[in-house]
Amino acid sequence: MTTREQQLQYLEAMGIQAWTARHAEAAAVEGSVEPDPEPAVVVAPETPAPAAPVTSVLDTTDVSGLDWEMLEARVSECRQCDLHTSRTRTVFGVGNRNADWLVIGEAPGHDEDQQGEPFVGRAGQLLNAMLQAVGLQRGQVYIANILKCRPPNNRDPKTEEVLCCEPYLLRQIELIQPGLILAVGRIAAQNLLQTQTPIGKLRGEVHTFRDTGIPLIATYHPAYLLRSPAEKRKAWQDLQLAVRTLRERRQ
Ligand code: URA
């Protein structure tokens, strides 16, 4: 299969009708865009992210200065909240530790809890297709979650669980220094941006991750997109916005 055929397959998985290349500028890869007006870039930080540490609201876990191996070991033995009693495995994160793109989801589900890797179930397959639609292989990005342990029955994370887990994610962000954070889903977007604003209002624009200067784009969770395929079009626009934002940042 040619690269173009592969790409068409990914776009189809995203529910995007392929369009022949006139708007090539908006696509990360040749000839794959829909003829929509592009959403405006609301905030485009001009300077690269400073290396300033981001500190957690509740610093129950001092992980400052830990390298990747020490951090992963610390997470694997974490007992900061009750989720350690029901987890099968911790789900630390996966991918390129020097990635431009950091994708942050909510929490491990059943498959992730079994395998110890984020986004390996059906939602993960759609996430892979979404990334590939903008020319990214899964291994090129880093993927993590707000929580490292599965909440029982996939219930929403509790505030105290998020706060206990936050230092780990903040240290990962500090180590990666990504060019862009893609927050997938309401839980990720609201916790990262520390807001209660609905995801439908958070998506479609460029935010900044706290005081880091790192641009953050929120989009719908792939599990939601599997239930509501009509929204894939908006997720596609968010991905295109992310591509443009990163490109502008790198210029
Ligand atoms: N949903 C998430 O938010 N994260 C995962 O890792 C899997 C499903």
CATH number for 90: 3.40.470.10
Which of 83, 126, 145 has most ligand 1 atoms within 8 Å of its beta carbon, as the pocket-test mutant? 145
Q: Ligand 1 atom closest to Cα of 188?
A: 3
Q: Has residue 50 been placed in a domain?
A: no
pLDDT at 165 over 90: yes
Which residue among 94, 104, 112 has the greatest number of ligand 1 atoms within 8 angstroms of its CB, and so is best to mutate?
Answer: 112
Using CA of residue 134, residue 138, residue 142, residue 146, what is the dihedral sign?
Answer: positive
**Residue 68, both tokens:** 């990747």
With the most atoms of ligand 1 within 8 angstroms of its CB, the residue from 87, 106, 115, 184 to mutate is 106
Which pLDDT does position 33 carry in this prediction? 32
Instruction: Give the count of domains, the chain.
Output: 1
Task: Examine residue 1 and state whether it is found in any structural domain, yes or no.
Answer: no
| 151 pocket-lining for ligand 1 (C-beta < 6 Å) | no
How remote is the CA of residue 108 from the centroid of ligand 1, in Å? 5
| Residue 24 confidence (pLDDT) | 35
Q: Which residue has the higher pLDDT, 51 or 194?
A: 194
Determine, yes or no, domain membership for 60. no
Answer whether 93 contacts ligand 1 (Cβ < 6 A).
Answer: no
Residue predicted with more confidence, 8 or 45: 8
Q: Is 18 a member of any domain?
A: no
**Tens digit of pLDDT for each residue in 65-89?**
999 999 999 999 999 999 999 999 9
Kindly indicate the confidence band of residue 55, based on its pLDDT and cuts at 50, 70 and 90.
Answer: low
Side-by-side strand order, sheet with 214-219: 94-95, 142-145, 101-105, 180-184, 214-219, 206-209
| For the chain, percent of residues with pLDDT exceeding 70 | 77
- The closest of 216, 214, 218, 217 to 46, measured between CA atoms, is 214
59 within some domain: no
| Residue closest by Cα to atom 7 of ligand 1 | 119
- Whether the pLDDT of residue 23 is over 70: the answer is no
Q: What is the pLDDT of residue 66?
A: 98
> Does 135 reside within a domain?
yes
pLDDT in tens, 169-190: 999 999 999 999 999 999 999 9
Angle between helices 122-133 and 3-13 (to 10 degrees): 130
Which atom of ligand 1 sits closest to the CA of residue 111?
7
Q: Is residue 223 part of a domain?
A: yes
Does the C-beta of 105 come closer than 6 Å to ligand 1?
Answer: yes
Kindly indicate the confidence band of residue 203, based on its pLDDT and cuts at 50, 70 and 90: very high
125 pLDDT more than 80: yes
Sign of CA dihedral 62, 185, 120, 9: negative
- Average pLDDT score, the chain: 86
Q: Which residues contact 246 (CB under 8 A, 6 or more apart)?
A: 100, 101, 179, 180, 215
Residue 220's domain comprises 65-250
Q: What is residue 139's DSSP assignment?
A: G
Q: Quote the pLDDT of residue 128.
A: 98
